[in-house]
Amino acid sequence: MERTISSGDVQKFAEQLEEARKRISALEYTNQAVLEYLSRLESSGEFQEKIELSYDIPQIFEVLLK
């Protein structure tokens, strides 16, 4: 059975695409902000001091969330 695509279907799909684009844009912005923050921490040496040169992932996240 063939389905006909209505203009309403197209509009709904366009709205969903726009919402997805906004979410992706927000994630890209957040990702960039996190990378810039990590870069500043790394260059200041503060990051290494706070985690005492440890590479324990849970501890790293705990430090970042403070």
Q: Where are the domains of the chain?
A: 7-65
Asked whether 46 and 34 are in contact (CB, 8 A), the reply is: no
Q: Supply 3's token pair.
A: 């389905």
Q: Supply 19's token pair.
A: 């919402």
Asked whether 46 and 63 are in contact (CB, 8 A), the reply is: no
Q: What is the pTM of this model?
A: 0.51
**Identity of residue 54:** S
Comparing 13-17, 43-47, 53-57, 59-63, which segment has the lowest mean pLDDT? 53-57
Q: Which residue has the higher pLDDT, 33 or 59?
A: 33
